Structure 1
């Protein structure tokens, strides 16, 4: 009887140690992402009228950009595009180059727009469904494409996956659709 109790306690202790290890691994793998997001939020607040953050999204196409959604001092919906650049630093001991992303704070790189100056997510969805009625939407998010603030659509039509880009300001499609190869 005592032996069974010890085995159960040992199994519980091992389970707790495994859970703690998984938790620490998750923290370790997400740490860079979270710090990048915090840098983007700080830059967005510094370079725009952003007061309150409601949502953040990371977009990667030509460049890495964080889009911060929030409210300004007048409680209007505001989007801020915060581009990142890669910064290389030499490791003197190994001779290897280490890289990390840094906020691109060059003139005009960080851009903000009020929602009223562009299309909302529901407006762009309605426009897309009108143009492409047979698609299965996978993901719609804000991003940058060829220097333009865009809605980036990733979708499936029949057996293919595609990307399309629509200007945030008026919903005009930029470029053509980009087809992903079949698997």
Structure 2
């Protein structure tokens, strides 16, 4: 043995700093892959939404879009809510069958009025969602609510867009 030589320990290839970098790189890779997957999975919906906005601008003369909803019941209908050049608020229903129906927002019953009518007829029942749609071959509001909280049952009421009349009620099966 030579006393002049000291045994130096080699540092491991994967030091703690390299482990942290490796794990961080892997997590970044997974996050990017997940983002790409979600973007691709949602692309058909976004493309159809953009097409509905373009149709509403082209055929109904809307210059700004406030909201776009997809309603599926009897058929697929895209409902676009926006304003024209004069600032008048419109609803445009674009039916899957190709028809476009345009109604001035002030000519129909609004969200708040539908909520008030529902609260009067169903006190204490929470609203799950309220969106414009198409029912019984006419523009309508679809209001989904919890009918029986204990049984986890929900129901859907359809109200006419023009006058707010109740068009129909559907009870959804619970657990």
TM-score of the aligned structures, taking structure 1 as reference length: 0.84
More strand by share: 1
Distance 1:77 1:130 in 2: 27
Counterpart among 135, 152, 165 of residue 172 in structure 1: 165
Distance 2:154 2:143 in 1: 10
Of structures 1 and 2, the one with the larger relative CO (CA 8 A, separation 6+) is 1
| Alignment check: 8 A CA contact 1:59 1:142 kept | yes
Q: Does 1:113 align with 2:103?
A: yes
Q: Deviations over 1:91-128 (max 9, x none)?
A: xxxxxxxxxxxxx2xxxx10111111001111111111
Q: Does 1:59 align with 2:71?
A: yes
Structure 2's unaligned 5+ residue stretches are 1-10
Determine the structure 2 residue equivalent to 1:4.
Answer: 16
Determine the structure 1 residue equivalent to 2:59.
Answer: 47
Structure 1's unaligned 5+ residue stretches are 86-103
TM-score of the aligned structures, taking structure 2 as reference length: 0.87
Equivalenced residues, count: 160
Matches for 1:32-111 after TM superposition, within 5 Å: 32-85=44-97, 104=98, 109-111=99-101
> After the TM superposition, which segments of 4 or more aligned residues of structure 1 sit over 3 Å from their partners?
none
Distance 1:111 1:49 in 2: 12
Q: Aligned-residue CA RMSD in angstroms?
A: 1.3
Distance 1:9 1:36 in 2: 41
Q: Deviations over 1:7-35 (max 9, x none)?
A: 01001100110000000001110000011
